[in-house]
C-alpha cells in the first residue's frame, strides 16, 4: 500500500479526489518512472488487473474476459497513458513568420479525450488554443498533437490547460498563448452526484491574453459557428 504525502488519511484523499483538486502544475512522476521496459509494464499491469477482476468475482476463464487484463494493460501503456513518456512528445517545429501575420491564430474545437487521475474515468471535451506570433509560427496540426500528448495521461483539467499553454509558449518563444477547455467528467456524470448535464470549463491566459480586450476577442472566436457541412 502506498502512503500519501503529509500524512493524509484515506478519507482526506477521498475528499481531495472528489473535489477534483490538483496538487501541482506538473504531472507527478517518480524518478524511476521509465526503469521498466514497455513490455514489462504491460505484463505487470496485466497481472495486477487480473487480480482486480478476480477479486471482483469475475470468471477469467470465460472467453469474453480471459483477454481483458492484457487488453487493459496494453491500452494503458500504449494509448491512454502514452503521454507519460517524454519520448512520445511531438516535435513542435516552428517556422519564421515570413508573411508577417500579426493577429491571433485560433485552433478551436480540438477533440479531447483524457482520464481523470482521481477515479481513472474518462474526461471528454474540446480544447480551444490561440497564440499571437512574435516571429515564429507553428503547424496547425502540432497544436492538436500537443493537446493530445498531454491528454494521454492521468490528468486534472486545470493542469492539462496549463501544460498546453506552457508547451506552446516554450516552442513559440512568446508568452502570448491561451487555452480554454470545456469537458465532461464521467467521474461526475456516471458516479457520485451523477449529474449528466454539467461540464467543466478551465482557462489559462498568458501574456497579451491577460488583456481584457484580447481575451474577449479570443472568446468571441470560440463562439463562431464552424459547421461547414462538409461531406
Reduce the DSSP state of residue 122 to 3 states and report it: strand
Rounded CA-CA distance 150/112 in Å is 10
Chain-centroid distance of CA 231 in Å reads 30
How far is the C-alpha of 174 from the C-alpha of 92, rounded, in Å?
14
Catalytic residue among 107, 116, 128, 204: 116
Q: Is 117 a catalytic residue?
A: yes
Name the catalytic one among 50, 117, 128, 155. Answer: 117
Query: What are phi and psi for residue 186, nearest 5 degrees?
Result: -70, -15
Active site residue 51: no
Task: Tell me which of 119, 155, 163, 179 is the catalytic residue.
Answer: 119
* Active-site residue, from 118, 155, 163, 179: 118
Strand ordering across the sheet containing 154-155: 154-155, 104-116, 122-132, 177-185, 200-205
Catalytic residue among 46, 107, 155, 157: 157
Q: Is 116 a catalytic residue?
A: yes
Catalytic residue among 46, 50, 179, 185: 185
**CA–CA separation, 27 and 159 (whole Å):** 8
> Which residues does the annotation mark as catalytic?
116-119, 157, 185, 187
Amino acid at each position: 500500500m502506498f502512503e500519501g504525502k503529509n500524512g493524509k488519511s484515506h478519507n482526506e484523499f477521498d475528499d481531495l479526489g472528489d473535489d477534483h483538486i490538483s496538487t501541482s502544475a506538473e504531472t507527478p512522476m517518480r524518478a524511476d518512472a521509465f526503469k521498466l521496459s514497455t513490455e514489462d509494464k504491460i505484463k505487470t499491469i496485466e497481472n495486477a488487473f487480473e487480480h482486480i477482476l478476480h477479486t471482483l468475482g469475475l470468471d477469467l476463464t470465460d472467453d469474453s474476459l480471459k483477454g481483458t487484463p492484457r487488453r487493459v494493460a496494453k491500452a494503458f501503456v500504449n494509448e491512454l497513458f502514452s503521454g507519460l513518456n517524454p519520448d512520445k512528445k511531438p516535435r513542435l517545429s516552428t517556422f519564421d513568420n515570413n508573411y508577417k501575420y500579426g493577429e491571433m491564430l485560433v485552433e478551436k474545437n480540438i477533440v479531447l479525450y483524457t482520464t481523470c487521475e482521481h477515479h481513472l474515468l474518462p474526461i471528454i471535451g474540446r480544447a480551444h488554443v490561440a497564440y499571437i506570433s512574435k516571429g515564429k509560427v507553428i503547424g496547425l496540426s502540432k497544436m492538436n498533437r500537443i493537446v493530445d500528448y498531454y491528454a494521454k495521461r492521468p490528468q486534472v483539467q486545470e493542469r492539462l490547460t496549463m501544460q498546453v499553454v506552457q508547451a506552446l509558449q516554450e516552442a513559440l518563444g512568446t508568452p502570448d498563448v491561451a487555452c480554454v477547455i470545456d469537458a465532461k467528467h464521467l467521474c461526475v456524470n456516471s458516479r457520485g452526484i451523477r449529474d449528466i448535464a454539467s461540464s467543466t470549463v478551465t482557462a489559462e491566459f498568458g501574456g497579451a491574453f491577460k488583456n481584457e480586450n484580447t481575451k474577449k476577442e479570443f472568446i468571441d472566436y470560440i463562439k463562431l459557428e464552424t459547421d461547414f457541412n462538409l461531406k
